[in-house]
Structure 1
């Protein structure tokens, strides 16, 4: 394989079973967190690190990675009580702190420094949520990289920690942390079970009146274990319970008289209706794809006799060729975020839907949004302005402000990183079933495509999450080094509307992989690249994508990097969170025929002895609760034993790191550098001086 010594791996004789279907599971023992497994894992990591650090340009590449490092998702300061709160690094601090100022990026004071909590290893700031009056700041703090966080409460006048914060764990930051009552007397939050891989979520109310108290809130019509949240209307009259990570539905409403004794009544209880939105007066205003695959904006009266019937909803913005993604209220207007051929647009309408103009965005790119619908509906918005982030494939996230009734777009913060002298070219390939699949190609302007070049495909294609055409962050170093970066839009994502998602999920899941291969073959046919210069990488569901590509089409790629991946989809059916994920987007886990289909794109089960596999570098986090590290361990062991060629199969599992949402920046930079160094070493790229 290489001159790097890979530790030997013993083979077991166990089997796995899902829905009565049995599969050999030779490396089941690597799922345990035993001393033997940890010794093996650490030895694998040492071999992987040695391989990439043996490359003479590693340190120079890390400098490039740090230069191009940027936020994964565009964030903006949060407004409350006349002040703006933000998370930002300050000179000399080990970790970013919470700052407060009178303007979004004005002169600020440090309000909460996590370094004071544990100086040797400060915790990670997962989220912030100030009370409406600006007097108390709730902060989510994660100590082990897993995303599981607990709440700290800060007096914003003195910076002192307040006593008796709620003790429960939050699974992550995905429901926005603390959702305050309008009078700032307390907040709702979504707690989880003690089990890190549990999919359970429950609503908790924490009150600050008198003696602090924390109580569970029972809401009928919240079935199953899906993500959920309770939020209050801005006027303080009502609360609504929302459930569904991918398809949020406002299932119940209550009058906000006594938050401890809420009398819930059902609202929209059909889980098939996607309604990501907010309460505004007597209506729920939301984006839906019900009867409109590309999305529309609707209003549902809170006293509607048939809220589950889309025919009774008032259409505010009808379906069009654009894909409607989100809607935000500012004053008496609504800002509508939409896609046109994957690129973002922003238009303004009044509450009846009449056009009030468009916002001239600073280029072709992406508005800042989080990947799943429920994550984007729970944040406060100032009454007189919309502050948002925007990025392109050659510039990182900048922050901008638009005020209704004006044509001026203010730049509050310029992008911190740019790819200079580069071009972006839009392309479309054709999948075997005739679907047209978009992609974007990024290269240096001086890099002529007169012969095949080292090329990196990057994709996701799952859960209806749009793969935004945004700055590639550390992967910009690949472009600066003379490579071609290809940002793909695969079925299973949400870039082209509901149909695009449905065609790439459940029984259509293989379509997304076919889309990937169609793009790769198009790039080879046009001599942009060749199979010996083509790489594939992705994280999370994109890590699964990379694993599928390596095992279904091993001759198509020279190098593959699955990051924080799911790779054993049969084994994933056994734990609570994995079972929920697989059942949502891949296959119905209680159906034997579905399980057999699932095995057809489960990379661990696709590995065959005697195949010349591409070079593979697998990276995972030891405390990852979403894609547990054993997926990476088992897949690496199986590929190392099976491959017939001399291309390396390497594994690095990082301690103190999870799925990437709560990993320290310095560790992330090193992770990015290792995976890119692997690609550069295999493909023959050299970072510029």
Structure 2
């Protein structure tokens, strides 16, 4: 399945001189906020003898007219406040103006055609174009698929495409309103005419063709009781859909009562010989199964069972199979084995584990090993026997993507980016190792004006933690710079450098942008991940707090000029940090966060997060630990919290918006100070994927405006200046 384009960003600066907001203005402004009266009920839960009140339980019902009315009332308050910020519209206008440049993804071939993603500038969704390979080019390409036509407001997005090996058929997924539930449409790729009915109720799924007869996909049974956006989805199933037959006749291939697993995916190997199944109970660890497709009635064979390690097949050649695994190798390794003797005791190292985290791709008969060294990428090319052929020269410290493709490819396209290097596409000749610039970003940004450097600071327990700090050259380290500290710290996710339009807006206002690579992430492998999970989760919050303290101690900023930001698990990070150390920052921006740690596993796929968090049902000890940091349960009266803007989407069925609803209600009920406690609820939007461009721009403008305003700026810090593109 082809991925979307590497999206580059823009640089802007905005006009207006800097003045401080008088304290009396702040107090009078906040006094005008009239939060909705949020009803409290008498719901109480008993956890191992501890009675826990949950007065806003009713907000978990997303179908309730009362919840709908509450959302509307809260948005009236929040948007009413945002509209009073004098430079909010200017931020949006400049973002809109500078976002408006052509963005083109790397080409990929399917059958007789070459395809690519393109956005003319402000289109809500990328359009897929194509031309006849060897005959046309990007300038005379035709539209193959335009997701902007799926919905008038741009809220229906493309969720991925999959072509048959000969390129004659295409199946693609669509997401409506940002939901994880998808529909699948099958078309004749040449005529673009639909084939058969639309598949519905598909979730957390790839699409993998078996010849031209049909494809494999995954889904859950649609919830019978409760809302499809909030009810638990716990038993994943892999199906095979045969073309032009009803979905009701689809074959259950794996999962269900005979093999209950929370996450199941299946795909056909490039040679068409095997069906590979990955089955997992959580976001960490998976089982691996394989089945011969060229043998009638062949059974699945287990490669590895249990969930103590993660692995996936990266290439097959006849009976020879290459696997990437972290079994007995927390940083990852590549092994080979043969079918059918594929048990771990028969594995032979091809690319052994090193001290750095490994990701692997394959293309053109080669393996491409991407190593993460202090959150920055290096890439090496290996042959199938594990001999290193070359290091691929990159433009500098940063992040890469795209080192993968088809086994017979002669070239591939990869992207490179950093906090001050706009996303750029290169074409790579696999045989010679030569890279050439394919497409540079058209962003109006001069990287020579900025600096991005890595530092290592000490966390509470003495652990050294890396952080990359980016800012405009020449700023004074006098403690007065508006600073945004971003983090995630969970689920083995690594934060590597990336270029962002929105971040450059901040930098051109004299702002500092800092990203901390916290424990719980994957920057240093599975040990680093595990050091921020379960009853070690506090390490993540301590790392983030220490990052803020470092920025203040080194005079990048002060508590009055520091904002913290993060989304999803990062939303938990921000909310836990602001409840534990409210004195550390002036602004908190928890986005789509996991904020009720006692009930997160009751909704949609939340139970799958238990290996990172644990659950309140596991044991009294685990309950007490979660209860001790759960943001919803640690809001206290009489505390001066930072100005807070919680953000979520009403169609978020990954981290249901009830987390944000209840946390905001609790803040508004208990906080009596002068700072705003807002919740901004995007309607017809989900966890983030597929969000239309116009919604992204407005939300980013609101975040920057809210942050600067609550740091004391009645106008923007620096005048707007036009920059020319550097590369």
TM-score, length basis structure 1: 0.91
* Aligned equivalent of 2:434: 408
* Aligned equivalent of 1:665: 693
Matched, 1:233 2:281: no
Change (3 A) 1:192 1:74: farther
List gaps (5 residues or longer) in structure 2. Answer: 1-29, 721-727
Q: CA deviation at 1:27?
A: 1.8
Matched, 1:398 2:434: no
CA distance in 1, matches of 2:283, 2:234: 14
CA distance in 1, matches of 2:259, 2:618: 18
Q: Assess if the C-alpha contact under 8 Å between 2:261 and 2:279 holds in 1.
A: no
Secondary structure of the 1:465 match is coil
Change (3 A) 1:419 1:153: farther
Matched, 1:343 2:348: no
* Aligned equivalent of 1:97: 127
Q: Assess if the C-alpha contact under 8 Å between 1:292 and 1:319 holds in 2.
A: yes
Matched, 1:314 2:343: no
Relative contact order: is structure 1 or structure 2 higher (C-alpha 8 Å, sep ≥ 6)?
Answer: 2
Q: Please, which moves more after superposition, 245-254 or 351-360? A: 245-254
Q: CA deviation at 1:388?
A: 2.4
Q: CA deviation at 1:227?
A: 2.3
CA distance in 1, matches of 2:616, 2:33: 41
CA distance in 2, matches of 1:248, 1:254: 20
* Aligned equivalent of 1:65: 95
CA distance in 2, matches of 1:30, 1:318: 51
Matched, 1:13 2:42: yes
Alignment of 1:51-62 (within 5 A): 51-62=81-92
Matched, 1:154 2:190: no
* Aligned equivalent of 2:160: 127
Secondary structure of the 1:448 match is coil
CA distance in 2, matches of 1:69, 1:24: 46
Change (3 A) 1:308 1:407: closer
CA distance in 2, matches of 1:210, 1:514: 55
* Aligned equivalent of 2:518: 490
CA distance in 1, matches of 2:498, 2:121: 27
Q: Assess if the C-alpha contact under 8 Å between 1:112 and 1:154 holds in 2.
A: no
Q: Assess if the C-alpha contact under 8 Å between 1:277 and 1:327 holds in 2.
A: no
Per-residue displacement from partner, 1:325-379 (whole Å, max 9, x unpaired)? x21222332111111111011100111111100111122111238xxxxxx99x7
Change (3 A) 1:343 1:115: closer
Match of 2:676 among 648, 653, 663: 648
Matched, 1:355 2:388: yes
CA distance in 2, matches of 1:347, 1:221: 44
Q: CA deviation at 1:586?
A: 4.3
CA distance in 2, matches of 1:330, 1:451: 49
Secondary structure of the 1:383 match is coil
Q: CA deviation at 1:208?
A: 2.7
CA distance in 1, matches of 2:139, 2:450: 32
* Aligned equivalent of 1:292: 329
CA distance in 2, matches of 1:93, 1:517: 39
Q: Assess if the C-alpha contact under 8 Å between 2:566 and 2:590 holds in 1.
A: yes
Change (3 A) 1:255 1:209: farther
Matched, 1:179 2:213: no
Q: Assess if the C-alpha contact under 8 Å between 1:564 and 1:627 holds in 2.
A: yes
* Aligned equivalent of 2:640: 612
Change (3 A) 1:659 1:93: closer
CA distance in 2, matches of 1:192, 1:584: 22
Matched, 1:275 2:311: yes
Change (3 A) 1:642 1:630: same
CA distance in 1, matches of 2:46, 2:618: 11
Q: Assess if the C-alpha contact under 8 Å between 1:423 and 1:443 holds in 2.
A: yes
Q: Assess if the C-alpha contact under 8 Å between 1:86 and 1:98 holds in 2.
A: yes
TM-score, length basis structure 2: 0.86
Q: Assess if the C-alpha contact under 8 Å between 1:221 and 1:266 holds in 2.
A: no
Q: Assess if the C-alpha contact under 8 Å between 2:169 and 2:186 holds in 1.
A: yes
Matched, 1:562 2:590: yes
* Aligned equivalent of 1:372: none
Alignment of 1:466-505 (within 5 A): 466-505=494-533
Matched, 1:113 2:146: yes
Match of 1:170 among 202, 210, 218: 202
CA distance in 2, matches of 1:638, 1:53: 24
CA distance in 2, matches of 1:106, 1:200: 47
CA distance in 1, matches of 2:106, 2:694: 22
* Aligned equivalent of 2:218: 190
Change (3 A) 1:106 1:588: farther
Secondary structure of the 1:485 match is strand
Matched, 1:553 2:581: yes
Matched, 1:627 2:663: no
Matched, 1:517 2:545: yes
Per-residue displacement from partner, 1:98-135 (whole Å, max 9, x unpaired)? 22235695642111223445556662111111221111
* Aligned equivalent of 1:373: none
Question: Number of paired residues?
Answer: 671
Match of 1:205 among 233, 237, 240: 240
Q: CA deviation at 1:97?
A: 2.5
Q: Assess if the C-alpha contact under 8 Å between 2:419 and 2:497 holds in 1.
A: yes
CA RMSD for the aligned pairs? Answer: 2.8
List gaps (5 residues or longer) in structure 1. Answer: 370-375
Q: Please, which moves more after superposition, 241-250 or 355-364? A: 241-250
Q: Assess if the C-alpha contact under 8 Å between 1:150 and 1:170 holds in 2.
A: yes
Q: Assess if the C-alpha contact under 8 Å between 1:69 and 1:474 holds in 2.
A: no
* Aligned equivalent of 2:252: 216
* Aligned equivalent of 1:36: 66
